[in-house]
């Protein structure tokens, strides 16, 4: 585990899975409106999510990784992407509610392993299996699976409600 002080007033949420939406009702967008901050990611080549990215050279990545400055990373399509510890810390400090990380299961698993306060949500259709990368998060009780039928009216509102309730966060007035 990373030796890191997470204030009791802040939460760490990772969202992963194979069901996504670009709509304004996407849980990742609503969580940001509620005060969560998404950290800047790094890439050695190209981005893989809708997060903000900064480019870093392959040698800079390896130096940072050797110095334990990389919080999480994965290889994707010939590039390495991930989150530096300093970018995570900046997001945590700038946030009202906490940090929101949206990405592949490899990233969520690494963060959950390093920061025990992390709660991972995997969004899946009922018949889909959870990634084996998340086995440790399952064993530690950090993983919450949310089955989503993306074609069902109100599906994303239901997902958002489930995330808020699981995290013990207050529902916004429009959900009452």
**pLDDT band at residue 1 under the 50/70/90 scheme:** very low
Average model confidence (pLDDT) for the chain? 90
What pLDDT, in 10s, does the model give residues 23-75? 777 888 889 999 999 999 999 987 776 778 999 999 999 999 999 999 999 99
Strand partners, 145: 122
CA angle at 98 for the pair 64 and 128, rounded to the nearest 5°:
85
Q: pTM, whole model, 2 decimals? A: 0.90
Residues whose CB falls within 8 Å of the CB of residue 132, separated by 6 or more in sequence, listed in order: none
Report residue 138 as tokens. Answer: 């399952």
The Cα–Cα gap between 31 and 109 comes to: 20
8-state DSSP, 44: S
Give residue 28's pLDDT.
87
Report residue 131 as tokens. Answer: 């990634």
**pLDDT band at residue 117 under the 50/70/90 scheme:** very high
Q: Are 161 and 148 in contact (CB under 8 A)?
A: no
Output the DSSP codes for 88-145: HHHHHHH-SSEEEEE--HHHHHHHHHH-TTEEEEEEE-TTPPPPGGGHHHHHTT-EEE
CATH number attached to the domain at 11-167 = 3.40.50.300
Residue extents of the structural domains in the chain: 11-167
The Cα–Cα gap between 175 and 157 comes to: 8
What pLDDT, in 10s, does the model give residues 62-113? 999 999 999 999 998 889 999 999 999 999 999 999 999 999 999 999 999 9
Burial category of 113 from C-beta neighbours within 10 Å (exposed 0-12, middle 13-18, buried 19 and up) = middle
């Amino acid at each position: 585990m990373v030796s890191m002080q997470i204030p009791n007033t802040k939460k760490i949420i990772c969202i992963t899975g194979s069901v996504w939406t670009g709509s304004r009702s996407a849980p990742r967008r609503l969580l940001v409106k509620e005060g969560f901050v998404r950290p800047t990611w790094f890439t050695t080549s190209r981005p893989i999510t809708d997060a903000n990215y900064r480019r870093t050279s392959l040698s800079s990545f390896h130096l940072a990784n050797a110095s334990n400055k990389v919080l999480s990373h994965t290889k994707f399509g010939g590039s390495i992407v991930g989150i530096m510890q300093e970018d995570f810390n900046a997001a945590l400090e700038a946030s009202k509610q906490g940090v929101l990380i949206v990405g592949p299961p490899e990233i969520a698993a690494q963060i959950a392993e390093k920061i025990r306060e992390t709660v991972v949500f995997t969004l899946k259709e009922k018949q889909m299996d959870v990634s084996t990368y998340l086995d440790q998060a399952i064993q530690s009780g950090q993983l919450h699976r949310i089955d989503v039928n993306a074609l069902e009216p109100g599906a994303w509102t239901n997902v958002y409600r489930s995330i808020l309730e699981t995290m013990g966060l207050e529902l916004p007035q429009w959900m009452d």
